[in-house]
Structure 1
């Protein structure tokens, strides 16, 4: 009788996020080429959606591989990405329309509103989780943030399509390239930080609004405000260092080559500094979450409480 040997396990897919990115990038490039060759406006929605969702979906897939518990099923990630993104964009749009007016603190107000909305959506969509591991909070926060970023990029790309000279596919492509490069250092990063702090300061039964969470919310909102307002900050620093006046539209009047170069350097350096602070903060949270001991689940399970006799 022939001896039966166990079959080797099927090889796991290595780096699925890389396959998602490479395949999506190839499809986006093909769409760009065909759109320019044919001038077919029916391809514009495909171009906008592919370019807006490619980088956010890739980073969510990358973060999903670094989850801590088995409660993070693909369905939950998809729910936080899509539903969280839509609810966040809608709520932020409503609040900003009614609460914000042009002022010196406009960027900070945007940061406070959008980060509060994303945090509230994250807590609402994950309220039923029985194990609130900090690294899972980072992954779920990134999912909500990248969903928000993808929809926001789609809006910017769609708006860039319309110019005074007609439809401009070139501006759509430029907008998506720029937003794709900076996407990892924006909404996904900030909400990942909030998610890690939210989950690390909460109990198994409910979320807790702690002083640490409030400080993290204010800090993330400040990073958000600095990121959005870096162009204005760079402009003010350029005027302060070189002198000059501004136009009614807020630009430097008749800028010299030196002023233009200084402005570009200051803006890029400022964005890089904000991104570095955010990445360092998130890396520290992830390291602390990795070192923190995990409490074992009770013997009777998570979902069925046991009451003593007579109660």
Structure 2
């Protein structure tokens, strides 16, 4: 009888443990996030009105071997609804080995009304951005990647939000992959990967960053599309050239050093190319994780510890991303294995 009781208790404990992992790591955070977004959406004010005048802005496009995408990127700036005479475009080449300059010349010829200039810097995105910032003339600095395109109203929506709230120092736009390129992918496996990437981006920006923005807890602005008040940006040490997570680092600098507010502009969209291969996915995620750990170590000080989980969003983010993720991965693969064990 005792054997049966303890055997049953042991089996119950085993399955309850496996059920607790997805409940704690998936279900509870999902419900909590849904409730936060629901009430945030209800209480969200109506869209901002157009300002009485549109300020002059500087758009920085770092370039490295971008001959295939640069023209369309510049074209998207030209076709935006933002007043063309209020835009400065600085294209910064950091040691490209292809014909990126030829693509720039072609854009110059096609869009003569667009104020554009070409710069050369040492290799590295952070170095390129820093050089262009010092050469910029705009009241707002906007960085976009050369392998993406702006939605027509993205610049207007970004600046409207800046102008309607003077406490905002920096913003990230919403990044999505281009659906048309996903549809044209022939490889079935790669197409499924690209679809998953699309929904991951949608969830990360429409949900994750929306929640983080509410308490000025945005962990990182997207390096693909971000905007800054120039005066706030000049209070920082600029982009850190010693880390691969320069976009995370500048987010923390604006918030911690410049004491600024960093949020998401949900209706400012930038569309990037979908991932090209599994190898590129691995390299990309490895770089993201390395950058997150480097910057977290730099800004955590002595605050790391389980006791700071509820009081410090940096600690909370690290535990969720690097500890809970480990449990979720084990649960997923172990659950599949358990099926074969009946």
Query: Is the TM value for this pair above 0.5?
Result: no
| TM-score, normalisation: structure 1 | 0.31
* Structure with the higher strand share, 1 or 2: 2
* Structure with the higher helix share, 1 or 2: 1
| TM-score, normalisation: structure 2 | 0.29
